[in-house]
Every structure is written in C-alpha cells, then in structure tokens.
Amino acid sequence: MLVLSLVTTIAEGAGLAMVVPIYDFIAAGGEVALLPDTTYWRAIFYGLRSVDVELNLALLLAAAFSALVLRQALSYVRQMALVQAREVVVKAVRDRIFSAFIYASLSEQERIRPGDLINILTNELTRFNASLAGFVSLANAGVMLLLYSTLLFFSSWLLTLVAFAVVPLSLVPLRQIQSRTSSAGAVATQENRAATEFLVERIAPARFIRLSRREPVETSRMEALTSRQKDAVMAVERLMILNSVMVEPLILGMVFALIYLSIVVLALPIASLAIFLLVVIRLLPIAKDVVKGRQLMLSCGASTLALLQMLDRLGEMREGSGGTVTFTELQNSVCFKATRFRHSMAARDTLDGIDLEISAGTIVAIVGPSGAGKSTLFDLLPALRYPDSGDILFDGGSIRCFDIESLRQGIAFVPQQIQLYDSTIADHVRLGRADATDQDVEEAISLAGARSFVAELPEGIHTRLGQGGGKLSVGQRQRIDLARALVGKSSILLLDEPTSALDVNGEIALLDTLLNIRSKRRLTIIMITHRLPPVEYADHVVVLRAGRVEASGSLEEVSRSSSWFSKALSISPGVQVN
C-alpha cells in the first residue's frame, strides 16, 4: 500500500510541478530564448533532445495531463488493493477466531458467552475493520505529506518551514475531541456487547417467553439496551462529524494566513505561489484523512482491544491432541477407576470416585436423579473432559494415552436435543463419516429403522430436512441422527435420553431397533435415561447418586440394592423420574 501511495503521489506531484514550466512558457510568449535558465528547464531540454522532440505548449499541457491520468489510474489500483487487503485481513481474523473456538476445550468453550463471541465476530470486527482503514489512511497520508512537503520546500523553503510551525498549532482544538472519541468508543463497545448477549440469550427460549407472557418485559429490556447502544454510537459519530467539520476551517484559516505572509512579507513570485497553493489545496483532503484516520483508530480502539483479547484467550484454550495410541475399537471393557471430576464453579465433586466396568457388546442404562453426574460421565468417555484424578481405561489403556481424534471416531453420540441443519438426509448422515457412499448412508438408515419413511420422501435420502429438521417428526429426526451415529461404524454408542420425546409406541420401537443394532454389530450401547422402559432392555444398569455409583448390575440386582431405584420401579413406566 505504501509503495502504491508513493508512486501515485509522485505521478500527481509531477503533474502539479508542470504548472511552473507551463506558466513560464506562456509568460515568455512561447519564445524558448526568453525562458529562465533553471534546473527544471535544463532537465526538460535534456529530455526533449534525447527523444528529438520540439518544445511547445501542447506538449507541456499533454505531459501535465498524462501525469494526472497516470495518477488516477494508480489511485484506482491503490484503492482496490486497499479493499482487497482489508477484506483479506478481516476474513483471516474471523476464520481464526471461529477455528480457535471450535478447537478449544469444552470447559473453556463453556466459559465464553455466545453473545460475546458473536459480538466480536460482527460488531467489533466491523469496527476493527474501520480502525484498520484508519491506520492505512494514516500511513498513506504520511507518504503523501512527505512528498508534497518536499515539493513545497523547493517551491519556497521559508514558507514551508513557517507552515510546519503553524499547522500543528492550528489542529490543537481537535485534540480534546479525539481524546473524548476514545472514551466514547469504549462505551460503544460495551453497549454492543450487552445488546448482542441479550439478543442471543432470548432467541432460544422464544417459546418460553411467549408462554410465560413476558413479551412486554423482554421487549422493554431490548428497547432499553438498543437505546443505550444507539446513544453510544451517536456519541462516537457526533465527535467524528464535529472533528470533520472543524478540520477544514482550521486548515483554510492557516492557508489564508500563509497567503498573506507570502505576498506581503515574503514577496514570493506568482509561479511559486501558484504551485504552493495547488499543493496546499491538494493537501487539504490529505490532512482531513490524517485527522479522520487517527480518530477512527481512537474510536475503534476498544473494539480492536476486545478482538485481540479474544484471540489471545482462544489461542490459550486450544484442546490438545491427546496421546499417541490410535483407538480402533472396544474389545473387552471400559473401566472407571476412582474417577473424580469437579466443574470449575461447582461446590463439590460432580463425580466422586467412580468405580465402574462396562463390558464390550452390552447395553448399559445409566440412571439416577438430576445432578447425579450422568452427563459428566458421558463427557469423560470421548475425552471432552479429563478426570481430575483417577482414570478411565479402554481395554486396559488409559484414556490419556489415546489420540483424541481416533477415540472420538470410535465413540458415536446421539444427543437428547437433535441438531439438524437445513441440508439433505444424506448430508446429515455423512456428518458421521465424510466419505460415506450413498450405499453406506442407506445401510445406516436401514439399521436405524428409518428406511420405510425415507423411501416415502419425495427425493429419498436427498430430501432436504428443513431448518432444524422441521419437515420431519421428532421420532423421524431421532432415527436420522441415529443413522448419522451408525454410519461411522464406531464400537461405542452413547445415547442421551433417547426416548424422552417419544410416546410409548415410539419408545418401544426405538428400543427394539437398538436390540437389532446390537445383534448385527458388536456395539457397546450406553444410555442415559430417566424413563424405565429403556432400563428393562439393558443388560446392565448403573444407578448414580450425588456423583457416586449407588448400585450396578442387572435390573433385579439394582432394584434390591438401591432404595432410589426401587422407589422408581413403583412409578408408571411412562413417567419420567427425576
């Protein structure tokens, strides 16, 4: 950018410099003999003799015009290069932040507010873009000021020195405005974050807001936040505009004073004064760019700081790759050995010395009251979190020894809340294995018990699901996501509340499907459930309470040894037990 600015300014300076020889030629009536013996005329005559061209007014005017056309062409190239460079930087920053967040550890991801991240990727990145433009503008203006100052110096070194002394004094009134701009920019960043966080938090529970009749309250809160956001942005813009409108009068006042000085005191020649005024007039928008660029950097400084802090924070949060051992499949068992884990804000251990063995090829139901640690136990299996103490062994090998990517490839997961995008059924299933063929997809769909209804869809596996899978029923969404988990042919399948959204018939049908899957593949199925029918299908039942294993064994064994579970058995199978 600086090189382009330099070349552009040289071309423009050459065009402006031609004003003096053009004036001399006109004043001499076109008589070469009457032209002054100056350095620039000697250079012009030397150049003309080297190409054997005769001097005339048309030639001088054409040279000046050509220099200015070249300047415009270079200016176009420079501005397009600026846009390209700026957008490349913004894209790189946005991609880097998102990638760093995606690869961060789960515990660190949970510490970042979604609204804060979205605000950084939208509002603050836009403001950072503006500050970047301000920085480049300052750099370009610096190059242009240097070259034009050189031209001014040769026009009148004394007047140039006087101008250098006067210009900084004329801009003193702007310093207070720029100082206030920095503070106003920090407030705008804070209000942007608050409004974005509130919006993100209110999008998901829209149904709850409607049913609890909180529309007026939430609308009023949003209006208050957006009002403060508007006022903060207006404060910044007001200072930016005030700064902009003050620059021109201040600089023009300085120019008029210099004109008076050059005529009355210094008695400059008309030609020198003409080129001096042309350069000063050209410098006026450059000076405005300098002031605007600096103010942009000040107003967006808080945004730039917030963005850099997020980059630093995410850079320190990246999840490791784990060990060096490649996990292929579970052959014997998964063993929890005195496993302890506590969430960062928890008052007690979420898992308090878990000792548990899960045999390969079995169906295991994890039950217990809410807050017992079931979800945390699930998070530990694919190394989303690591135990604070104790260990988890896969066929005798510590979880810390396994490469995380291979371990997660060997453990499939179906969440309670199915995550479907507006893609085709085949595309969603391939989230489980990117290189799966259509035949692989159809086999996984058949194994998940979804073949019949997929076959009835207009485009089969290439039918679009709609936003959130809205074109399918709850049970159908679950089957499609189960196919996604099965297509990778993992040896462990984790199911979080697989039947919680199903009626009795749908629940039994899904459980029969799981039995069918287990019979066709040596698959270890581990379920979290609050409902009793899944427990009846399990080979092994584990009761968790307060982070500990209260009972473990067959349905009959745990019903005898766990008071909580025996009480749960007395409740209707269709009732959720918390």
Strands 363-367 and 524-528, by their bridges, are parallel
Position 570 pLDDT exceeds 50? yes
Could you tell me the pLDDT band of residue 279, with boundaries at 50, 70 and 90? low
- At 377 the pLDDT is 95
Could you tell me the pLDDT band of residue 282, with boundaries at 50, 70 and 90? low
pLDDT single digits (tens) 380-429: 999 999 999 999 999 999 999 999 999 999 999 999 888 888 889 999 99
Position 450 pLDDT exceeds 80? yes
Position 572 pLDDT exceeds 50? no
pLDDT single digits (tens) 83-113: 888 888 888 888 888 888 888 888 888 888 8
Higher pLDDT among residues 526 and 229, named by residue: 526
> And the tokens for 507?
């629940």
Could you tell me the pLDDT band of residue 215, with boundaries at 50, 70 and 90? confident
Strands 540-545 and 363-367, by their bridges, are parallel
Lowest mean pLDDT among 47-56, 249-258, 414-423, 496-505: 249-258
The end-to-end CA distance of the chain, in Å, is 64
Position 578 pLDDT exceeds 50? no
Higher pLDDT among residues 36 and 205, named by residue: 36
Lowest mean pLDDT among 117-131, 132-146, 314-328: 132-146
Rounded distance between C-alpha atoms, residue 166 and residue 163, angstroms: 5
pTM over 0.75: no
> In the predicted model, what is the mean pLDDT of residues 480-504?
91
| Cβ atoms within 10 Å, residue 218 | 17
Share of the chain above pLDDT 70, in %: 87
Q: Which of 473, 321, 347 is nearest to 408 (CA)?
A: 321
Lowest mean pLDDT among 24-28, 123-127, 249-253: 249-253
Average pLDDT of the chain to the nearest whole number: 83
- At 208 the pLDDT is 66
pLDDT single digits (tens) 168-182: 666 666 667 767 777
| Domains along the sequence of the chain with CATH | 2-316 (1.20.1560.10), 417-489 (3.40.50.300)
Could you tell me the pLDDT band of residue 573, with boundaries at 50, 70 and 90? very low
Task: Report CA-CA distances (Å) from 39 to 9, 29, 193, 571.
Answer: 21, 20, 61, 106
- At 173 the pLDDT is 66
pLDDT single digits (tens) 496-507: 998 887 888 888
Rg of the Cα trace of the chain? 37
Strand order in the sheet with 351-359: 351-359, 333-341, 389-394, 397-398
> In the predicted model, what is the mean pLDDT of residues 532-561?
91
- The b-or-e profile of 236-262 (16+ CB within 10 A means b, else e) is beebbeebeeebeebbeebbeebbebb
pLDDT single digits (tens) 307-357: 888 888 887 778 888 899 999 999 999 999 999 999 877 888 999 999 999
Which single residue is written with the structure tokens 């609890």?
212
